[in-house]
């Protein structure tokens, strides 16, 4: 029994439909998504997804919002008990990559504008919450190490670098092997990322 069917049998159809969507996107990517296949996997009528979410975009938006909420929780857990802003930034980077790798179905739609409704309240709350935590982390770096640091530019670079690494992660071992290189672990790579970022973020 799939996670989606199990969830539905426990009486939570919207969650079951999201779970079926995540399973489908994990297997086939966003282009392999269809409401009919989601309904089949959840064990409900083909009209059920549209009834609950209005459209395919509505369902994908709900999945994306769920993904960002998961990311927010991962950020908060990662920095708990850490006071040093560099350690917090490093922990957030690792949390981002782990969350992306553990939730490929969610991450397949979270940052894909054409698939989601960016005016949806739940999506806005969750995505803004995730970005605000990054901004707070960069602001703490500025306050501790460089009063003139451009927070928006640093946040954009940080998110882009970490997201790019998460996207490329599965392809990197093959590339390293072909170039006769030994690939560092994710933790080692993120430690290096943090050091390189801080080399740029510190005041000159």
Domain extent at residue 69: 55-201
Please indicate, yes or no, whether residues 61 and 3 belong to a single structural domain of this protein: no
Please indicate, yes or no, whether residues 7 and 84 belong to a single structural domain of this protein: no
Is 70 exceeded by the pLDDT of residue 6?
no
Please indicate, yes or no, whether residues 123 and 43 belong to a single structural domain of this protein: no
Is 50 exceeded by the pLDDT of residue 1?
no
d(CA 145, CA 155): 15
* Mean pLDDT across 119-136: 97
Please indicate, yes or no, whether residues 65 and 50 belong to a single structural domain of this protein: no
Please indicate, yes or no, whether residues 61 and 101 belong to a single structural domain of this protein: yes
**What confidence tens digit (pLDDT) does each residue in 86-104 have?**
999 999 999 999 999 999 9
Please indicate, yes or no, whether residues 5 and 102 belong to a single structural domain of this protein: no
Which CATH number characterizes residue 13's domain?
1.10.10
Classify 81 in phi/psi space as left (phi over 0), alpha (psi -120 to 50) or beta: left
Cα–Cα distances (Å) from 146 to 81, 82, 141, 143, 200, in that order, read: 23, 20, 7, 6, 10
Please indicate, yes or no, whether residues 63 and 43 belong to a single structural domain of this protein: no
CB 41 within 8 A of CB 105: no
Give the whole-number percent of the chain exceeding pLDDT 90. 76
d(CA 21, CA 35): 8
pLDDT of res. 188: 94
* Residues contacting residue 25 through CB under 8 Å, at least 6 positions apart: 32, 33, 63, 104, 105, 108, 109
Please indicate, yes or no, whether residues 50 and 81 belong to a single structural domain of this protein: no
Please indicate, yes or no, whether residues 47 and 95 belong to a single structural domain of this protein: no
Per residue in 83-118, is it b (16+ CB within 10 Å) or e — as a string?
Answer: eebbebbbbbbbbbbbbbeebbbbbbbbbeeebbbe
Please indicate, yes or no, whether residues 185 and 97 belong to a single structural domain of this protein: yes
Instruction: Tell me which DSSP letter residue 184 carries.
Output: P
Domain closes at, from 54, 83, 98:
54
Please indicate, yes or no, whether residues 3 and 64 belong to a single structural domain of this protein: no
Which CATH number characterizes residue 115's domain?
1.10.357.10
Torsion angle, alpha carbons of 72, 73, 76, 80, to 10: -170
**What confidence tens digit (pLDDT) does each residue in 56-83 have?**
999 999 999 999 999 999 999 999 999 9
Is 90 exceeded by the pLDDT of residue 177?
no
Please indicate, yes or no, whether residues 38 and 129 belong to a single structural domain of this protein: no
**What confidence tens digit (pLDDT) does each residue in 16-53 have?**
999 999 999 999 998 888 999 999 999 999 889 988 99
* Angle separating helix axes 186-201 and 85-102, nearest 10 degrees: 140
Domain closes at, from 54, 73, 97:
54
Per the structure, how many domains does the chain have?
A: 2
Domain closes at, from 37, 54, 71:
54
74-83, 98-107, 160-169, 177-186: least confident range: 177-186
Cα–Cα distances (Å) from 153 to 59, 148, 167, 194, in that order, read: 32, 12, 21, 16
* Mean pLDDT across 119-138: 98
Q: Which of 29, 50, 54, 27 shows the shortest CA–CA distance to 39?
A: 50
């Amino acid at each position: 029994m799939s996670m989606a069917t199990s969830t539905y049998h426990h009486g939570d159809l919207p969650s079951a439909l999201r779970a079926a969507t995540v399973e489908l996107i994990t297997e086939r990517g966003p282009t392999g998504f269809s409401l009919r296949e989601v309904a089949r996997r959840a064990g409900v009528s083909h009209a059920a997804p549209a009834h609950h979410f209005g459209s395919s975009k509505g369902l994908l938006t709900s999945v994306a919002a769920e993904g960002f909420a998961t990311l927010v929780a991962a950020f908060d857990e990662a920095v708990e008990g850490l006071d040093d802003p560099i350690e917090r930034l490093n922990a957030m980077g690792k949390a981002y990559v782990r969350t992306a790798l553990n939730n490929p179905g969610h991450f397949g739609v979270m940052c894909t504008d054409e698939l989601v409704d960016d005016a949806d309240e739940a999506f806005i709350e969750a995505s803004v919450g995730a970005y605000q935590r990054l901004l707070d982390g960069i602001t703490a770096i500025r306050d501790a190490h460089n009063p003139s640091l451009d927070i928006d530019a640093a946040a954009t670079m940080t998110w882009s670098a970490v997201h790019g690494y998460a996207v490329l992660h599965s392809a990197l071992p093959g590339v390293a092997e072909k170039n006769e290189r030994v690939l560092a672990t994710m933790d080692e790579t993120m430690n290096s990322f943090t050091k390189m970022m801080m080399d740029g973020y510190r005041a000159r």
